[in-house]
Structure 1
């Protein structure tokens, strides 16, 4: 017959799991509130009190999970960058050689625009003048990796181009996307979609003369920049 201690063991194990699950839900709640506040006021003007108020909790509850605003921004930024890396992986995957350049460019732009429209705080955090240094450093590292991958995807379509030319083309595409993204995020509805189409046209017109009739194995990825 089981002893009281043996009966209590499953319960003892379950309680920490429940506490952990509640803690994760609370963290998610606070991060969602922080995203809203950062987008509305910017990182500098945001405060832990405003974030707690947006989350519907007391400042004391917030401090149980985060010591300050910077810690909240870092956690939020890291989670979004993990998701962005997954988006990169999909958008920068090899493209079927039969895929028209226009279709490849459009698909990559749509994927990254969708991510940034769902997470506008990502752009706010990555481009603010006073974001925590750790976020800026990780974002710069991510960009460096992305540029290298874009160059690798471009190279087969530009076999005779010097490496410096391929790198330049990749950087120009990223810069075009970056500028276009800021315009897109500043619009809503039909006007936003119109700006997305303009961004696709600009990238396509830039790449067409360079790629010519060669398979579009890499150009699609050129639009896949983070939220630079």
Structure 2
């Protein structure tokens, strides 16, 4: 009678060892990326080095090179992961809204989600807005910006249904520029002062958008904003 206990070529123990090695490798990569984020934020991308990243991670440079050949590869992997998470963030922040939603609420929700992401991942701002980011990250940033712009346009169209597409696009560009300019101030402060800058961004956006959506039924808060000097 044939032996049914094990098929030839099967090695359960070997498969388990492989899975453990893969899990250790993923943990090491995560450790190196976290260290790289810290170094990039502290020194900027240009001044950062693989030695500094390895030191921050508590490993030898040789260990780092087992996973990444150079600093640019680390930055690209980190940027790819952050872009993926950012896409999920703006998918939630810029989802379609009920036309009856007050403008202040829609703006506040979107700004809060984006600011929360930037607070948790300040390196995203460093990599995406630095003067010498790697080409792959620059390409990702351009693609992200284009997609983000289209989502802002879609959100604005909920409040401005009869506005020409060219005007919607122009308004979306201004909204993104205002947010990006304010974000640098937000990330440069802590505590109550940071919260105050977040509120300033919301106020600027609402006051800019309010006259453009004036054909919507005004809420009491919207009316007060419009009458504020």
Alpha-carbon contact 2:97-2:155 (below 8 Å) kept = no
Larger Rg: 2
Q: 1:10 aligns with which of 12, 18, 25?
A: 12
Cα deviation 1:13-55 (Å, max 9, x = unaligned): 1111000000000000000000000000000000000000000
Measured at CA, do residues 127 and 15 of structure 1 come closer, stay the same or move farther in structure 2, by a change above 3 Å? same
Normalised by the length of structure 2, the TM-score is 0.89
Greater relative contact order (Cα < 8 A, sep 6+): 1
Structure 2 CA distance for aligned equivalents of residues 100 and 181 of structure 1: 23
2:89 alignment partner in structure 1 = 87
Structure 1 CA distance for aligned equivalents of residues 51 and 217 of structure 2: 54
- Unaligned regions of 5+ residues in structure 2, if any? 219-229
1:222 alignment partner in structure 2 = none
Alpha-carbon contact 1:180-1:195 (below 8 Å) kept = yes
Structure 2 CA distance for aligned equivalents of residues 145 and 194 of structure 1: 29
Superposed, 1:5-84 pairs within 5 Å as: 9-84=11-86
Alpha-carbon contact 1:91-1:108 (below 8 Å) kept = yes
1:101 alignment partner in structure 2 = 103
Structure 1 CA distance for aligned equivalents of residues 217 and 79 of structure 2: 36
Structure 1 CA distance for aligned equivalents of residues 127 and 121 of structure 2: 11
What displacement does 1:2 show?
A: 6.5
Cα deviation 1:51-78 (Å, max 9, x = unaligned): 0000000000000000000000000000
2:198 alignment partner in structure 1 = 196
- Unaligned regions of 5+ residues in structure 1, if any? 217-228
Q: 1:149 aligns with which of 135, 138, 151?
A: 151
Structure 2 CA distance for aligned equivalents of residues 38 and 70 of structure 1: 11
